[in-house]
Amino acid sequence: MEGEKKSNYAVIAVAIVFVIGLAVYTQYRISATNTELDRVAITMATAAQSGTQQAEPRGISQQMEINYNTDGYNTLLKYYKSINLDAEQSKKVAGLDVELPCCGFQKIVTKTDGTADFPGSCHCGHHDAMYGLAKYMVQKGYSREEMQKELDVWKEVFFPTQGGGNLGGCA
């Protein structure tokens, strides 16, 4: 009986040591995790201060119910295919700056009569989306300056300053 008592005390002692060890290990892991979270927070704050973090686009597309995402990109592609402009509207979009780093194409081609020559312009996905935006905006009565400003916002959406495009396609 005395042997069993000693055996029970030994099991209890081992269990207590195990629980204490587990508690110490858990506290160590929590501390290490908090240290890592602090490091990430500092890195993010530094990036935000230096301007390297991607900012939310600041334009008017969302007021027109066009989001700066894949859905918005697809909406602009649909506008390009479905909106037909009259001669006056076409003249307002001709020559708008649509230069992107994916190709050397710079402006919506202008025909001799001053109207836009969409068939003669670049037809990568990015440019077609930009033409769709221009067509939609001119149809809604936006000025040439407002159209150019919003096209410039979409250029940044397609090709953020820190690198390659994150939306749409050049093919």
Would you list the DSSP string of 22-88? HHHHHHHHHHHHHHHHHHHHHHHHHHHHHT-SPPPP-SSGGGGT--SSHHHHHHHHHHHHH----HH
Nearest in space to 167 (alpha carbons), one of 80, 87, 71: 71
What confidence category does residue 52 fall into, taking pLDDT thresholds of 50, 70 and 90? very low
The confidence score (pLDDT) of residue 87 equals 94
The confidence score (pLDDT) of residue 59 equals 76
Distance of CA 163 to the CA centre of its chain: 12
CB count in 10 Å sphere of residue 148? 17
What confidence category does residue 34 fall into, taking pLDDT thresholds of 50, 70 and 90? low
The confidence score (pLDDT) of residue 33 equals 60
Q: What is the pTM of this model?
A: 0.63
How many Cα atoms within 13 Å fall on the side-chain side of residue 76? 30
Contact partners, residue 94, CB within 8 Å, separation at least 6: 108, 109, 110, 111, 114, 115, 116, 117
Per-residue pLDDT tens digits for 139-151: 999 999 999 999 9
Write down the mean pLDDT value for the chain: 80
The confidence score (pLDDT) of residue 40 equals 47
The confidence score (pLDDT) of residue 56 equals 64
Q: Does residue 155 contact residue 68 with C-beta atoms inside 8 Å?
A: no
Contact partners, residue 135, CB within 8 Å, separation at least 6: 79, 80, 83, 85, 89, 93
Per-residue pLDDT tens digits for 101-133: 877 788 988 999 999 888 888 888 888 999 999
The confidence score (pLDDT) of residue 50 equals 47
Both tokens of 22, joined, read: 């587990």
pLDDT of 39 strictly over 70: no
Angle at 56 between CA 51 and CA 61, to 5 degrees: 140
The confidence score (pLDDT) of residue 130 equals 92
Q: How do the domains of the chain map onto residue ranges?
A: 1-53, 61-158
